[in-house]
Amino acid sequence: MPTNDIRIDKVLTTVARGYSNAEFIGEVLYPTVSVDNETGRIPLFGKEAFMIWDKMERAMRAKSNEIEGGVVSTVGYATREYDAKRILDYREIKESELNQEIWAVNSCMDAISLDKEVRIANLAFATTNYATNNTTTMTDDFLNEDAIDPIEYLMDTAHAPLRAAIGKYPNIHVWGACVWEKLRNHPKIKAYMATGVEQVITLEFIAKLLEVDKIYVGKALKTTDKSTLVDVWGNGIVAAYVKPASGYTRTPLEPCFGYTLQLKGNPYSDKGDEEGGKLHWVRTTDNYEIKTVGNDSAFFLKNPIDPSKL
């Protein structure tokens, strides 16, 4: 392919960077931060990063209060490049009423983003990605059983231990779609509603019961055979404390469960011609690594729903 036929397109790159899919929630747990180089080191955060310090007041002429650094060590990262390309025929472009290039960019970004969502979900729903005492696997008395109160169980099993670990309760939950489908009509949750008031159970209602800011449900689907669709996010619940960004742009210096470390300038789109101009290609590229940097700051509950009921 002649290099002079390759050109980064600013308009299509803007489309790629503005792309979002409401079904994808992975960056809630692993927010994106920009890095300057494909390899480097970033901070790892322990419990100290989430501590509330007792002594902040300074007496007249006293020394300033010294606090220990929250950064206990660093970890290396190495981003990887991911890309997708669409081939368009010049006749398609001519005859179509749609902007084929923008469609191609969105299609490529959808593929790249779905792949990223799968990678994040695999990390987030793996017990090995958490601190030793920050996971539990249910083998009996599952949350979907009528006799179990999911709210009490989650507060006792996930929220209390997380606060004991980092000094803070979780402020978000991430649920697999199967969890939401089984719990939205749970009799114990319905019992929290005002008597005689007909209401629909919502995520916002359950979030209030759990005293978290928001519950995110992983609704994305994937297929490997172009026939059978399966959930990207499986049978699990993550209760996490994710520190809100302190400015307009996050940096890897802020304590967090994890980050999507994206090489600066990504994603971008380029385009070019081949076959004498009859075939036109549009390509989108991203470059990132997903990294856990604070495994104390989240609690993972595996198999909250009886697997035999799924």
Can you give the residue ranges of every domain in the chain?
3-47+78-309
- Look at residue 22 in the predicted model and tell me its pLDDT: 60
User: What average pLDDT does the structure give for the chain?
Assistant: 87
- Cβ within 8 Å of residue 244, ≥6 positions away: none
pLDDT: which is higher, 155 or 15: 155
Strands annotated E in the chain: 7-8, 32-35, 39-45, 71-78, 80-89, 135-137, 172-176, 214-218, 221-222, 230-231, 236-240, 258-263, 268-274, 279-292, 298-302
CB 163 within 8 A of CB 299: no
Pairing of strands 32-35, 7-8: unpaired
Structure tokens at 201: 């159970």
What is the pTM (predicted TM-score) of this model?
Answer: 0.86
Mean pLDDT of the 204-219 span? 96
- Given a cut of 90, is residue 304 above it in pLDDT? yes
Residues 43 and 33: their CA atoms lie apart, in Å, by: 13
pLDDT, tens only, 80-123: 999 999 999 988 887 766 688 888 888 899 999 999 999 999 99
As assigned by CATH, the class of the 3-47+78-309 domain is: alpha beta
- Given a cut of 90, is residue 204 above it in pLDDT? yes
Residues 256 and 33: their CA atoms lie apart, in Å, by: 11
Mean pLDDT of the 55-76 span? 77
Structure tokens at 168: 């803070």
pLDDT: which is higher, 71 or 98: 98
- Look at residue 3 in the predicted model and tell me its pLDDT: 41
- Given a cut of 60, is residue 207 above it in pLDDT? yes
Mean pLDDT of the 200-213 span? 94
Residue 29 CB-density burial (10 A; 0-12 exposed, 13-18 middle, 19+ buried):
buried
Structure tokens at 214: 């928001």
pLDDT: which is higher, 150 or 22: 150
The sign of the dihedral angle between the CA atoms of 91, 94, 97, 102 is: positive
- Look at residue 247 in the predicted model and tell me its pLDDT: 61
Mean pLDDT of the 14-31 span? 80
Residues 198 and 192: their CA atoms lie apart, in Å, by: 12
pLDDT, tens only, 232-286: 999 999 999 987 766 656 777 777 889 999 999 999 999 888 877 889 899 999 9
Q: What is the distance in angstroms between the CA of the first residue and the CA of the last residue of the chain?
A: 49
- Given a cut of 60, is residue 66 above it in pLDDT? yes
pLDDT, tens only, 121-171: 999 999 999 999 999 999 999 999 999 999 999 999 999 999 998 888 999
Highest mean pLDDT among 51-60, 124-133, 187-196 belongs to 124-133
pLDDT: which is higher, 163 or 43: 163
- Look at residue 19 in the predicted model and tell me its pLDDT: 59
Residues 60 and 293: their CA atoms lie apart, in Å, by: 39
- Given a cut of 70, is residue 17 above it in pLDDT? yes
